[in-house]
Amino acid sequence: MDVALLTDSSSCLLPQGIHGLAVLPLHVQVSGRRGDSREVTHAEVVEVMRAGRERISTSRVSPGEFASGYRDLVEGTGCRHIVSVHLSGALSGTVEAARLAADEVAGEVQVTVVDSRTVGLALGWAVLDAAELASTGAGVDEVEQLVRERLASGHAWFYVDSLEHLRRGGRLGRSQAVLGSALAIKPLLAVGDGEVVLAERVRTRGKALARLVDLVDRAAGDARGRGAEPRLAVHELDAEEAAAQLADRLHDRVGVQPWVRPLDPSIGVHTGPGTLGVVVADGG
């Protein structure tokens, strides 16, 4: 292969067995114990957060781990180029670590680092499509262009029970979190230009989810207007039943069967139990 792809676990990709695609796990720390987001389970994250007795946080993939990942891809595929696509740089230092590692391996392989400015399958689908294109022998410019096109078409919204976890992790401004708590709203969040923003203030959970369905329906219509078939995904943390119900509502409304995927623990730490997310992106 001329081009290989690498991303991180915030993409919420399951092991796919796709040649030329690697997924590096982000890290979760519970009371000083550090493990990657495949070792610290969703159930453990939820239990710790609900109990509230232990400190839980996340950390990026290190430059050394990235460098090893790049070298493994070269060894496994013979690639000359790697397109490395990651969690929004406004939310994590992961992209910066990838750039440092790219400089370290510059004499061994050309690495193009892309800040996705998003999270979840809005990132994951872009990487999957690019990996499939790369497997046909496409060049690095063509693969990078597809990544950027897919990322540009993506939308991500999240319903959370509380803004407190985002405030504690510094992923949402204190003023927004305080306002949300004071008004006792059910927050509807969006990932806008790489940052988590309070998109709408809704008084009840039911109204928040109804509004979420409206937003997804509109975005899917926009995709069809561009000549693309929309793809939908529902993400959840400790909300499996609600996620299945939301997926059914979206299927009935939009006519597309959503993927249902748990949030990576490294993301769920910052949103909290009960999180529901929806991603809309252009398909092929």
Q: Which residues contact 238 (CB under 8 A, 6 or more apart)?
A: 42, 46, 273, 274, 275
Query: Which regions of the chain carry the CATH code 3.40.50.10170?
Result: 3-26+61-152
Query: Which regions of the chain carry the CATH code 3.30.1180.10?
Result: 155-282
Judge: domain 155-282, CATH 3.20.20.140: no
CA 94 to chain centre: 12
Q: pTM for this one?
A: 0.88
Does residue 40 register a pLDDT over 80?
no
**Residue 54 DSSP class:** S
Looking at per-residue pLDDT, the higher value among 248 and 271 belongs to 248
**Residue 196 DSSP class:** E
Give the pLDDT score at 34.
Answer: 59
Give the pLDDT score at 28.
Answer: 83
- Domain 3-26+61-152, what fold? Rossmann fold (3.40.50)
Give the pLDDT score at 64.
Answer: 97
Residue 252's pLDDT band (cuts 50, 70, 90): very high
238-261 average pLDDT score: 96
Give the pLDDT score at 174.
Answer: 45
Give the pLDDT score at 83.
Answer: 98
Which residue, among 79, 55, 59, has the nearest Cα to 69 in the 3D structure? 79
Looking at per-residue pLDDT, the higher value among 39 and 148 belongs to 148
* Pair 142, 107: CB distance under 8 Å: no
